[in-house]
Chains A and B, each alone.
Chain A
Amino acid sequence: SQTIHQWPATLVQPVGSPLSLECTVEGTSNPNLYWYRQAAGRGLQLLFYSVGIGQISSEVPQNLSASRPQDRQFILSSKKLLLSDSGFYLCAWSVEGGETQYFGPGTRLLVL
């Protein structure tokens, strides 16, 4: 069966510090991968998606970036965090052209 992992579960970082959140998927090959953010009181905002290694599409311009160094690994990064980057970050995967996206447990990021 397929599983999706995200870490860390919780992160508190000072403004201006770097960020690296990791997501890995097991049990499937060549998944589509997604990064979402849920800010307080708001819905899920798609940040990045990837259909293959090294292929990243950005949905929203911001100070975040994403990379896919391996087929089942998706990394969300920032060189300098802003206060507004606080939120709940979710990684998801789907099969290519699949009906459903499956979400990881999420990372709660608090930027102080």
Chain B
Amino acid sequence: DTEVTQTPKHLVMGMTNKKSLKCEQHMGHRAMYWYKQKAKKPPELMFVYSYEKLSINESVPSRFSPECPNSSLLNLHLHALQPEDSALYLCASSQSYYGYTFGSGTRLTVV
């Protein structure tokens, strides 16, 4: 299995809602990442988990809360988002000395 699976593929949520994005990989990668990507821009790093511990938080607002329940799963909990948070949210995983494997992303719209 050489894939990173993200669910849901699309999500529309109101500014008062709470929702979660999920990511799963079975490649044995020990680093997992959340990225945010706006149209016609490169991916922007949000969080890095290494060996299930949060190792990098790129000063992301607290309305985004990551969680790594085990080495294969990564969640991103969303609460009280703003319309400007609408974007493609990408999960990725990697092993040292190799490139990242990205999921297809969750397209999030905040209304």
A, B in one complex? no
Interface residues of B (CB under 8 A from A): none
